[in-house]
């Protein structure tokens, strides 16, 4: 017991505002009625299909303790529910009004089709469905895969199949979460992945979270932070909102933390939405001016430092403070923490990446790590923490419009390499990204749109624009386990629904790649099977084999997922060992505990690269607020509860600082309307510890305020922030 880290003397935090983790257990128990034995086998024998921390059953490779988070409990219902009553789809006119209930109606049981002009869907056989879709794959095609629960085998087989039909227009959910991290890390350190392991958190002198809130999005991580605090690690947070779950957290599976909670954040640094570069450059400026640099590391292992030093020297404190919203003294405080630390891990998430200059945000973080030599050794690293179990593997498998397997860029030379390996021609230019596909569909320049999971209506800016875009292709194919609102949009042609299997249903088992680069085998779990659902890898390969019968033998995998893993190992050399994974708990961590060991970077000259980062020009209209979209009690766009247990916010809450609420005479609960250049959002005031001048609303409800044209230049990620005026309704 370590009382200095206790959050409260009240046993189990009785009376405190926090999620009720034990109630979550009861809700999960009720939600899987009739399939509880199967649900238990999934929990104890499967690899988690929630966030990307990665477990084997309810344990992992970081500590010998039970891991079970609320996200995984909530996903149990999706993985165990029975088939829906297909009669509900005979006329779908009433279903859009029930969009929040669609996932709970049951699993898709068999292929269905809604022909142009018809009121709903009717059953169709697999042969007819596949032939219908394959006949149109010689046209302009776009393919998108989500990342929740999607294993490496599905990604790899899908991208190979799509390239066999002659296009590179396949993309996945990594595009709209961590694509700026992929771009910036690849350029700076030669590797597009976290450089360290979770165990490096425990015992590090310092962990800095920047635009990241694992208490909501990666709850298992909070146990690591509990043990890090016990080991003496200090935790700092750079964010617009002082997240309650990062202040105090009750880890339900640890006796001490479950009883008294744990104080998590030791140092909080508030910044404006979009002000991270101003703050981080200010921290680097202090490191330079106070000579808090690892000069030996800089001289021996990096390039470009002089240009960065000159760049931050030319940036005035006034400009850095104006952009960040923080003071010069705040920047000094974090610089001092970094300067005195012998080890540190820098962690970031979508608060950093989902900006029109997301790549530059990441480069500013990399500069700090290189300046202090916090790469390639114990308790140090750069960690873009992933939100979904399938994100890290998606791009590495090549399910990326701008990248081939192994993260290789789409070039004639790399296309030739895979053409020789696979036996058929590969397109030599990048394809359409996820956002580009919607633009092409809206412009009438996309004939076929295939969406495996996901929901463009919920995840992209400007839902009305997305709805219009979805209505225009001559064929839409939706591959999923449950219904989603985008399936109900009437099309200019046919709309196909193809039922998919979960990872736990796939014969031969599958793998996922966690945030720490651990490739983990998840076996097939014995249990009920749904109707005629197929594994997604088989759907994609069969579509391509029918569209290109001359290549059928090169596309199909008669040996199942084991054969796909063998193909992955041939195609992605750093995935060596994946072909040998075949039993529960089997895993291999590519690159070992650390990438860039001892400062040896996988770049042409083996040096890490500093990058001068200019200050973005944020010109806020007079009287406007900076608005960010946040996550609440949800996983991706799947909303689990209408109220967030951490802060009491409902889905219509407008989080605003007390300073701004008092200035505008707004009481808690007052109805207000936010208006941007693209739309408006009406909600209710909730005072919260935010930086003045900033407002937060929930995603995806707040997507109506977002400008679809604002995207980062390299990664093409949408900007999930906006300027908006706020007026009483």
pLDDT the model gives residue 12: 82
Averaged pLDDT of the chain: 94
Residue 300 token pair: 């021996």
- In this prediction, residues 429-446 reach a mean pLDDT of 97
Give the alpha-carbon dihedral of 203, 206, 212, 215, to 10 degrees: 40
Q: Which residues lie below 8 Å from residue 17, measured CB to CB, with a gap of 6+?
A: 244, 645, 646, 647, 648
pLDDT at 229 (0 to 100): 95
Over pLDDT 90: what percentage of the chain? 81
Q: Which is it for strands 267-270 and 234-239: parallel, antiparallel or unpaired?
A: parallel
Dihedrals φ, ψ of 328, to 5°?
A: -55, -35
Look at residues 151, 657, 146 and name the one whose alpha carbon lies nearest to residue 397.
151
pLDDT reported for residue 64: 87
371-383 per-residue burial string, b: 16 or more CB within 10 A, e: under 16: bbbbbbbebbbbb
CATH 2.40.40.20-classified regions of the chain: 624-728
What class does CATH assign to 188-387+605-609? Answer: alpha beta
Which of 212, 295, 192 lies closest to 517, judged by CA? 192
Scored b (16 or more CB within 10 A) or e, 243-268 reads bbbbbbbbbbebebbbbbbbbbbeeb
* CB crowding 512-543: b at 16 or more within 10 Å, else e: bbbbbbbbbbbbbbebeebeebbbbbbbbbbb
pLDDT at 19 over 90: no
Confidence at residue 346, expressed as pLDDT on a 0 to 100 scale: 98
Contacts of 195 (CB under 8 A, 6+ apart): 189, 375, 376, 381, 382, 383, 594, 595, 596
Locate CATH 3.40.50.740 in the chain.
Answer: 107-173+400-584
pLDDT tens sequence across 519-559: 999 999 999 998 899 999 999 999 999 999 999 999 999 99
Tell me the mean pLDDT in the region 3-16. 85
User: Do 20 and 274 form a contact (C-beta atoms < 8 A)?
Assistant: no
Which of these ranges, 44-58, 493-507, 531-545, 679-693, has the smallest mean pLDDT?
44-58
Three-state SS at 653: strand
Phi, psi of 456 (to 5 degrees): -55, -30
**The residue count for the chain:** 729
Query: What confidence score (pLDDT) does residue 729 get?
Result: 83
| pLDDT band at residue 148 under the 50/70/90 scheme | confident
Written as one string, the DSSP assignment of 119-186 is SS-EE--HHHHHHHHHTTTTS-EEEEE--TT--HHHHHHHHHHHHHTT---EEEGGGGTTHHHHHHHH
CATH class held by domain 107-173+400-584: alpha beta
For position 11, what pLDDT does the model report? 83
Q: Say if residue 664's pLDDT is above 90.
A: yes
Mean pLDDT, residues 479-493 taken together:
95
Q: What is the pLDDT of residue 13?
A: 83
Which position has the token pair 């009553």? 85
C-alpha span between 274 and 158 (Å, rounded): 36
How many angstroms separate the CA atoms of 65 and 260, rounded? 19
Residue showing tokens 């300046």: 371
User: Please, what's the b/e burial string for 422-444 (b: 16 or more CB within 10 A of its CB; e: otherwise)?
Assistant: bebebbeebbbbbbbbbbbbbee
Mean pLDDT value of segment 113-141: 96
Structure tokens, 181: 């991290």
- DSSP code per residue over 224-238: HHHHHHHTT-EEEEE
3-class DSSP assignment, residue 6? coil
**Confidence class for position 586, pLDDT limits 50, 70, 90:** very high
Two tokens, residue 131: 């032939």
CA dist 152 and 345 (Å) reads: 27
Residue 503: per-residue pLDDT: 95
CA distance 28 to 520: 25
CB neighbour list of residue 221: distance below 8 Å, 6 or more residues apart = 53, 198, 214, 385
Domain with CATH 3.40.228.10 in the chain: 188-387+605-609
Rounded Cα gap, residues 725 and 729, in angstroms: 12
Q: Are 643 and 650 in contact (CB under 8 A)?
A: yes
Q: pTM score > 0.85 for this model?
A: yes
Distance CA 382, CA 376 (A): 9
Q: For residue range 412-421, what is the model confidence (pLDDT) as tens digits?
A: 999 999 999 9
Tokens representing 260 are 């008294």
Whether the predicted pLDDT of 640 surpasses 90: no
pLDDT of amino acid 548: 97
Output phi, psi for 611, to 5 deg: -135, 120
Q: Is the pLDDT of residue 289 over 80?
A: yes
Q: What's the whole-number mean pLDDT along residues 379-399?
A: 92
φ, ψ at 648 (rounded to 5°): 75, 10
Measured between alpha carbons, how far is 486 from 468 in angstroms, rounded to an integer?
Answer: 11
373 dihedral zone (left: phi>0; alpha: psi -120 to 50; beta): left
Give the pLDDT score at 631: 87
Q: 272: which DSSP letter?
A: -
Strands (E) across 631-718 are located at 634-635, 638-639, 653-656, 671-675, 680-687, 694-698
* Structure tokens, 540: 């994609």
What pLDDT does residue 595 have?
97
User: Does residue 193 carry a pLDDT above 90?
Assistant: yes
pLDDT confidence of residue 15? 81
Residue 499 binned pLDDT confidence (cut-offs 50, 70, 90): very high
pLDDT tens-digit map of 152-179: 999 999 999 999 999 999 999 989 889 9
The strand pairing partners of 654, in sequence order, are: 685
Average pLDDT over residues 308-324: 98
Whether residue 686 is predicted with pLDDT greater than 80 in this model: the reply is yes
Nearest to 589 by CA among 578, 597, 580: 578
Q: 523 φ, ψ to 5°?
A: -75, 160
User: In the predicted model, is pLDDT for residue 323 greater than 80?
Assistant: yes
41-88: pLDDT as tens digits? 999 999 988 888 888 899 999 988 888 888 888 888 889 999 999 999
Q: By the 8 A CB rule, do 473 and 447 touch?
A: yes
- The CATH label, of 1.20.1250.20, 2.40.40.20, 1.10.3720.10, 1.10.1740.10, for the domain at 624-728 is 2.40.40.20
Nearest to 567 by CA among 427, 424, 425, 421: 421
Residue 637 has pLDDT above 80, yes or no: no
């Amino acid at each position: 017991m370590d009382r200095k880290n206790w959050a409260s003397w009240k046993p189990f935090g009785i009376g405190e505002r926090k999620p009720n983790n034990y109630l979550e257990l009861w809700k999960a128990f009720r939600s899987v009625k009739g399939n509880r034995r199967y649900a238990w086998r999934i929990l104890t024998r499967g690899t988690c299909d929630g966030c990307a921390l990665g477990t084997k059953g309810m344990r992992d490779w970081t500590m010998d303790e039970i891991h079970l988070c609320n996200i995984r409990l909530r996903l149990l219902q999706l993985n165990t529910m029975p088939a829906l009553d297909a009669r509900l789809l005979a006329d779908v006119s009433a279903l859009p009004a029930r969009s929040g209930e669609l996932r709970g109606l049951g699993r898709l049981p068999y292929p269905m089709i809604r022909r142009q002009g018809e009121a709903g869907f009717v059953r169709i056989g697999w042969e007819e469905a596949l032939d219908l879709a394959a006949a149109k794959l010689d046209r302009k095609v776009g393919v998108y895969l989500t990342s929740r629960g999607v294993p490496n085998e599905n990604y790899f087989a899908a991208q190979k199949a799509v390239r066999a039909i002659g296009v590179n227009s396949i993309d996945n959910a990594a595009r709209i979460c961590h694509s700026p991290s992929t771009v910036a890390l690849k350029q700076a350190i030669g590797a597009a992945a976290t450089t360290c392991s979770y165990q490096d958190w425990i015992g590090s002198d310092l962990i800095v979270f920047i635009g990241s809130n694992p208490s909501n999005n990666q709850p298992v991580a909070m146990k690591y932070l509990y043990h890090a605090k016990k080991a003496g690690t200090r935790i700092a947070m750079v964010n617009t909102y002082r997240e309650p779950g990062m202040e105090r957290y009750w880890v339900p599976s640890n006796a001490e933390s479950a009883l008294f909670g744990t104080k998590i954040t030791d140092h909080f640094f508030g910044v404006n939405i979009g002000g991270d570069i101003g703050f981080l450059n200010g921290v680097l400026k202090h490191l330079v001016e106070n000579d808090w640099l690892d000069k030996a590391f800089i001289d021996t292992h990096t390039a470009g430092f002089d240009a960065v030093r000159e760049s931050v020297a030319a940036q005035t404190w006034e400009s850095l403070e104006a952009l960040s919203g923080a003071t010069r003294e705040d920047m000094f405080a974090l610089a001092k923490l970094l300067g005195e630390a012998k080890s540190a891990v820098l962690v970031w998430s979508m608060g950093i990446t989902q900006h029109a200059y997301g790549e530059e945000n990441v480069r500013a973080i990399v500069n700090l790590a290189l300046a202090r030599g916090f790469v390639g050794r114990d308790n140090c690293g750069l960690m873009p923490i992933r939100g979904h179990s399938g994100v890290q593997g998606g791009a590495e498998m090549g399910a990326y419009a701008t990248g081939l397997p192994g993260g290789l860029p789409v070039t004639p030379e790399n296309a030739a390499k895979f053409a020789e390996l696979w036996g058929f021609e590969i397109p030599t230019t990048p394809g359409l990204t996820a956002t580009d596909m919607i633009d092409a569909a809206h412009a009438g320049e996309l004939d076929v749109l295939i969406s495996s999971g996901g929901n463009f209506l919920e995840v992209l800016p400007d839902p009305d624009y997305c709805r219009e875009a979805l209505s225009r292709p001559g064929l839409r194919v939706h591959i999923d386990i449950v219904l989603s609102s985008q399936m109900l949009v009437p099309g200019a042609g046919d709309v196909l629904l193809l039922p998919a299997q979960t990872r736990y249903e796939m014969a031969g088992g599958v793998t996922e790649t966690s945030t720490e680069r651990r490739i983990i085998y998840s076996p097939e779990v014995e249990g009920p099977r749904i109707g005629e659902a197929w594994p997604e890898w088989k759907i994609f390969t069969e579509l391509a084999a029918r569209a290109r019968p001359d290549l059928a033998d090169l596309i199909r995998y008669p040996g199942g997922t084991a054969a796909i893993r063998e193909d992955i190992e041939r195609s992605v050399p750093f995935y060596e060992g994946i072909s040998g994974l075949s039993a529960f708990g089997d895993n291999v961590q590519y690159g070992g505990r650390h990438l860039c060991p001892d400062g040896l970077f996988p770049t042409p000259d083996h040096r890490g690269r500093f990058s001068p980062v200019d200050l973005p020009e944020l010109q806020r209209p007079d009287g406007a607020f900076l608005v960010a979209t946040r996550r609440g009690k949800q996983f991706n766009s799947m909303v689990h509860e209408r109220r967030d247990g951490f802060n009491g916010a409902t889905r219509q809450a407008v989080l605003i600082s007390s300073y701004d609420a008092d200035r505008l005479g707004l009481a808690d609960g007052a109805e207000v309307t936010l208006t941007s250049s693209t739309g408006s959002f009406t909600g209710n005031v909730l005072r919260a510890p935010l930086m003045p001048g900033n407002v937060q609303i929930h995603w995806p409800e707040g997507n109506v305020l977002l400008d679809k044209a604002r995207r980062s230049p390299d990664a093409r990620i949408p900007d999930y922030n906006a300027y908006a005026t706020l007026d009483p309704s």
